[in-house]
Structure 1
């Protein structure tokens, strides 16, 4: 898919909302199947996660660890070109203080996320 038809903002916001904010495992897995290539890789600060199932498990564990009110919220429009995109976000309890900020950087292949880097900003 060319840049002219890839909506980087929609793709990365969908990942944030439908994968990393989704508490229902079946809905999260369906979103991952739609948004990610068959064998994606996610690079976290402390781990490399391979495969759709593993990405779903990581998202579910994060949501369980931080509680029912925890959410990731985009703070800017995603930008990208030539198969690379970035979306800045913040996370914390809904309506509460921001606990962490960062960005997702993704390699996009044929309109889907092939590799995803989760970059955390240093604490302030």
Structure 2
């Protein structure tokens, strides 16, 4: 018997909003506890991050590095099935130009993010 698919769009949008746009460390940690598996792994282009605390630290560092109005925004609905989901996004300062675009690909286990791949698009020339 097939199990019901999770709401991939809700889950990956919540990850952008409640984790990667959250500047409050405690609120971000609570969101990660709710959205991520116990021992998540995040694959960045040049780094592998393991564990909830490490994911939180990376998100906080990104927000600090890029300034107080920097935000990630979904550019469509997430799609997925059988435990794999993808969401396209863009990021940049509020009211400013888009600084980076990319796609998050996630392996979902029991309704939570177990693995997250951050895929960055090449800069437009």
Q: How far off its partner does 1:5 sit? A: 4.3
- What runs of 5+ residues in structure 1 fail to find an aligned partner? none
Partner of 2:30, secondary structure, is: helix
CA distance in 1 between counterparts of 2:94 and 2:81 reads: 31
Aligned residues: 123
Partner of 1:106, secondary structure, is: strand
CA distance in 2 between counterparts of 1:119 and 1:62 reads: 15
The residue number in structure 2 matching 1:22 is 22
8 Å CA contact retained: 2:5, 2:82: no
Which whole-Å deviations, capped at 9, do the CAs of 1:95-124 have from their partners, x for residues lacking one? Answer: 110000000000000000000000000011
CA distance in 2 between counterparts of 1:86 and 1:94 reads: 24
Which whole-Å deviations, capped at 9, do the CAs of 1:70-108 have from their partners, x for residues lacking one? Answer: 000000000000000000000000111000000000000
- What runs of 5+ residues in structure 2 fail to find an aligned partner? none
Instruction: Tell me the TM-score normalised to structure 1 length.
Output: 0.97
Asked whether 1:11 is paired with 2:11, we answer yes
Q: How far off its partner does 1:28 sit? A: 0.1
Any runs of at least 4 consecutive aligned residues in structure 1 with deviations exceeding 3 A, and if so which?
A: none
Asked whether 1:111 is paired with 2:79, we answer no
Partner of 1:56, secondary structure, is: helix
The residue number in structure 1 matching 2:49 is 49
Q: How far off its partner does 1:51 sit? A: 0.1
CA distance in 2 between counterparts of 1:70 and 1:25 reads: 16
Bigger Cα displacement from structure 2, 76-85 vs 4-13: 4-13
The residue number in structure 1 matching 2:84 is 84
The residue number in structure 1 matching 2:121 is 121
